[in-house]
Amino acid sequence: MAYENLKKQDKQIYAAITGEIKRQQEGMELIASENYVSRAVLEALGSVFTNKYSEGYPGKRYYGGQDFTDVVETLAIERAKKIFGAEHVNVQPHSGAPANMIAYNAVLQPGDTVLGMDLSHGGHLTHGHPLTLSAHIYNFIGYKTNQAGEIDYKQLEKLAIEHKPKLILAGFSAYTRKLDYKKFQAIAKKVGAISMFDIAHIAGLIAGKAIENPVPYFDIVTTTTHKTLRGPRGGMIMCKQQFAKAIDKSAFPGFQGGPHMNNIAAKAVAFGEALKPAFKTYAKQVIKNAKVLETELRKRGFEIKFGGTDYHMVLVDVFGSKGITGKQAEHALDEAGITVNKNMIPDDPRSPMDPSGIRIGVQAVTSRGMKEKEIKLIAGWIEEIVLAHDDKKVLAQIKKEVTTFCKKYPIYPAV
C-alpha cells in the first residue's frame, strides 16, 4: 500500500501505520472480534466521502450535494436487505454500542425493563452492564447460562414472566452456542415484549449461510460490520417495518449527527463481497476451523466453556485447566506473537481485569487462508506458550516461528 503523501507530510503517523501493517502481517490475530478487510473496502474508507455532510436519509437530506451519498447509502441498504432478508435497514450507526443505544432509544422509555444476557455468561457490555449509559437509563435484568453451559430458557421465561420486560435481548460477545430463535421468540411473545438480537459476532456466519438467519424471527437486529462480516468498523440496525420510522428517527436526529459516508461506502463494498459465493466458503471454513480448535485444545487438556462452539470462537478456562490466569495467558501469547483477549467465564471467581479465561476466534486467520492443518499448529503453539508462560526464551523462540509462519499468509501482499 502506498502512503507517499503521508510519508512526506507526517512521519510519525506514517511510522505508526506502517508499524501496524507489519504487526498485522507478522502476528497471529486470534481476537474474536477482528478481521482483515479487502483492499477495496480500504479504498472506499479512505475516499472523499469523508468530506461530506449528509444528515437525513437518501432523498431526504438537510444539506445539498447529495447525488453520490444517496447512491452509496441506497446500495448499502439494498445489499444488506438482500443478505439478511430484512424489511428495513439503517446503515448509519457508527458502531455496535451506538447501534444498540439507538435501538433502545427507539422503543423504550427511561425506566423500562430489559432482559439481557449477563456479561460474564457471554453477553455484552451494552446489554446492561452497570457501567454503561444504557444501564443508567433502563432497568436491565440479566439472564444466565445453565450448568451445561447453554442459555437457560427456563430461567429466561421465569424472569420474563416476573419482570414483564418491554424488550428481551439476545446476543453475545463470548457465548458460543446456537440460539433457539423460536424458543426465544415464543418467550418474548408470551410476555408481550419486543425481541432484539445483537448479531455483531456472528453476522458474517449468517451472511455466508453457515448458520440460520435470525433476522426473520426478531423485531430488531443490531450488528457491527467489522467482525465475521469482514467490513469496515461500523454498525447497522435491521428491523420489521413497524419499527422502521422509530429506528430511523432515533439514529438521526435522536442519537447521531451526520453519517460517516466514507464508512457507509465501505459497508456497501463489504456487503457486495458478502453476497459473493466465495463468502459462503469462507463462513463455512470459519466454523470448521473453530471446531478443530475446540477439539485440539480439549485434547491438550484445556476446558472449553459452554460445552463447545457452534460459531467462530471458543472461550477457554485457562485458570481452571492450567493454573494460569487469563491476563497471564494473554501476555504470554502476546509475547509469542499470538493475540487473544482475556475474558470472564460464567460465574468467574476472578476479576474482569484478571479473569479465568481467554477468548480465541479464528475468523481473521481464516481470512488469511488458514485451514484445519494450520489451526492444529496454532493449538500446539497455544499449549506450548501457556506451559512456558514464564520462560522469555521459549516465548521469543515461538515468536520467531509464528512470524515466519504468518508471513506465508500475507494479509496485504507487497506492502
Round to whole Å and give the CA distance between 390 and 205: 37
Give the one residue of 24, 173, 228, 256 binding ligand DSN; rule: CB under 6 A: 173
Query: CB-based burial of residue 60 (10 Å sphere; 0-12 exposed, 13-18 middle, 19+ buried)?
Result: exposed
Among 33, 105, 145, 285, binds ligand DSN (CB under 6 A): 33
The catalytic residue among 26, 43, 55, 401 is: 55
- What residues from 38 to 57 belong to the interface with ligand DSN (CB under 6 A)? none
Q: How far is the C-alpha of 329 from the C-alpha of 324, rounded, in Å?
A: 7
Residue among 56 and 361 whose Cβ is closer to ligand DSN: 361
User: Which positions from 60 to 89 touch ligand DSN by CB under 6 A, shown as an x/- string?
Assistant: ------------------------------
What are 290's three cell numbers?
Answer: 473453530
Least distance to ligand DSN, CB of residue 283, Å: 18
- Told to judge if 233 belongs to the known catalytic residues of this protein, a careful annotator would answer yes
**Minimum distance from CB of 361 to ligand DSN (Å)?**
9
**Closer CB to ligand DSN, residue 33 or residue 285?**
33
Task: Respond yes or no: is residue 227 known to be catalytic.
Answer: yes
Minimum distance from CB of 109 to ligand DSN (Å)?
26
> Nearest approach, Cβ of 340 to ligand DSN (angstroms)?
11
Strand partners, 237: 90, 222
Of 72 and 196, nearer to ligand DSN (C-beta) is 196
d(CA 50, CA 72): 13
Catalytic position from the list 166, 227, 267, 342: 227
Q: What track of x and - describes contact with ligand DSN for positions 368 through 397 (by CB under 6 A)?
A: ------------------------------
Query: Environment class of residue 115 by beta-carbon count within 10 Å: exposed (0-12), middle (13-18) or buried (19+)?
Result: buried
Are residues 199 and 270 in contact, defined by beta-carbon separation less than 8 angstroms?
no
Q: Is 198 a catalytic residue?
A: yes
Closer CB to ligand DSN, residue 322 or residue 342?
A: 342
CA angle (327, 25, 303) in 5-degree steps: 35
- Cβ neighbors of 346 (< 8 A, separation 6 or more) are 120, 121, 122, 144, 145, 149, 305, 306
Q: Does 35 bind ligand DSN (CB under 6 A)?
A: no
Residue 162 φ then ψ, to 5°: -70, -45
Complex with ligand DSN: residue 54 or 126, whichever CB lies closer: 126
Distance CA 221, CA 103 (A): 9
Minimum CB separation of residue 359 from ligand DSN in Å reads 8
Record the cell numbers describing residue 286, joined without a space. Answer: 470459519
β-sheet bridge partners, residue 220: 196, 239
Return the residue nearest ligand DSN (CB atom): 33
Residue of 6, 16, 21 whose CA lies nearest to 407: 21
104 is catalytic: no
- Is there a catalytic annotation at residue 53? yes
- 157 catalytic? Reply is no
For the sheet with 313-317, list strands across it.
Answer: 303-304, 313-317, 357-361, 341-343
Kindly state the number of chain residues that form the binding site for ligand DSN, as judged by CB under 6 A: 4
Q: 136 and 297 in contact (C-beta within 8 Å)?
A: no
Minimum CB–partner distance for residue 173 and ligand DSN (Å): 4
Nearest distance from C-beta of residue 31 to ligand DSN, angstroms: 7
Catalytic residue among 198, 317, 348, 374: 198
Interacting residues with ligand DSN (CB under 6 A) = 33, 96, 124, 173
- For the annotated catalytic residues, the residue numbers are 53, 55, 198, 224, 227, 233
